[in-house]
Structure 1
Amino acid sequence: MNRFKFFKEGIRNLKTVGTVTRSSRYLCDKVINHSKIHQARVIIELGAGDGVLTKRILKRMPDDCKLIAFEINDMFIDTLEAIDDPRLIIAADSAENIQKYLDDHNLDQVDIVYSALPFSVIPKEVANSIINISKSVLAPEGEYLQIHYSLIAKKLYEKIFGKVEVFFQPINIPPAFILKCVKE
């Protein structure tokens, strides 16, 4: 999907897309670089969008790793389905149903959750539920990495995970923060 199509879809569905620009390669690489992707066996991506981060995850994750990519936008799902990689499982569903997809694919604990969900426009109860579910499926020392465009929601992650590390990526439109949490 090109940038213009992404922009049009972002404008049309801002409440579910959360932005009008796709993540830059610099942001995608920074998110991945702050994780232990080389050790992962199961990865979840929340809000996979048009697959810009998905493709970079697939490039860097181990051959025996599985990636479950959650996305609810039909146009983005069509784009994700064009990615030809047997390690990718596309979940055209709410991120609240993570456990169902783990059960369906006989996967237990998750090593990494990457999220670009627009929690600033998602109802607070749903956001809390998704983050708590994500934490519950993480293995001990599992990592949760969230992309945000402000630090307003940082307290939410501190409440659920405790410690939150923050990284900044200025080379993105808009500049972005990465919030990293580790399950103790």
Structure 2
Amino acid sequence: MKRLDFLVEGLKDLKTVGTVTRSSRSLCRNMIKHVNFKEADLIVELGAGDGVITRFILEKMKPDAKLLVFEVNSKFCDILRSIGDERLIVAEDSAEELDHYLQQLNATKVDYVISALPFVALPKELGLDIVGKCYRFMKQGGRYVQVHYSLLSKKLYQSIFGNVDINFVPFNVPPAFVLVCEKK
């Protein structure tokens, strides 16, 4: 997707897209550096957008792993489906439905969650529900990795995981924070 097309989609629905620019390579690398791809069998991506982070994940995943991505924007879902990787499962649905999709996959645990959902723009209860489900279905030692453009939502993750490590990524427009939580 061209930058201008992404800008248009972002402006049309900033509440669900969460930004008007794509994630930089620097941000994508920072998001996935918290994943042990040698051990990851199931990775979940929330708010996959047009797949910029998705592609970085797929590049590192082992051949028998699965990547379940959630995206509500139909144009973005079409782009995600066009990636054509059999390990990629595109859920054109809200991340609230995580349990339903895990059931379809006969999966009980998630190894890692990579999220670009704009929780600041979503109702607080919805954010708590989504992050709570991720925690519930995550394996012990699994990590939840979230990008934000401020630290306003840090307490949401602390309240569920009890821990949040913060990485600042200056080489992104706008500069971003990567919050990393581990299920202990």
Taking structure 1 as the reference length, the TM-score comes to 0.98
Are the aligned partners of 2:43 and 2:111 in contact in 1 as well (CA < 8 Å)?
A: yes
Match of residue 77 from structure 2:
77
Runs (5+) with no aligned partner, structure 2: none
Q: Distance in 2 between matches of 1:93 and 1:119?
A: 16
- For 2:121, what is the secondary structure of its paired residue? coil
Q: Percent same amino acid at aligned positions?
A: 51
1:105-136, Cα deviation, whole Å (9 max, x unpaired) = 11221000000000010011000100000100
Moved more, 27-36 or 39-48: 27-36
1:43 aligns with 2:39: no
Superposition deviation, residue 38 in structure 1:
2.6
- For 1:37, what is the secondary structure of its paired residue? coil
Moved over 6 A (4+): none
Superposition deviation, residue 171 in structure 1:
0.4
1:151 aligns with 2:151: yes
Q: Superposed, which structure 2 residues align to 1:1-184 within 5 Å? A: 1-184=1-184
Q: Distance in 2 between matches of 1:15 and 1:118?
A: 7
Superposition deviation, residue 177 in structure 1:
0.4
The amino acid of 2:41's aligned partner reads R
Superposition deviation, residue 155 in structure 1:
1.1
Are the aligned partners of 1:42 and 1:67 in contact in 2 as well (CA < 8 Å)?
A: yes
How many residues are paired up? 184
1:127-169, Cα deviation, whole Å (9 max, x unpaired) = 0100000100100111100000001111111111001100011
Q: Distance in 2 between matches of 1:123 and 1:23?
A: 23
Superposition deviation, residue 37 in structure 1:
2.5
Taking structure 2 as the reference length, the TM-score comes to 0.98
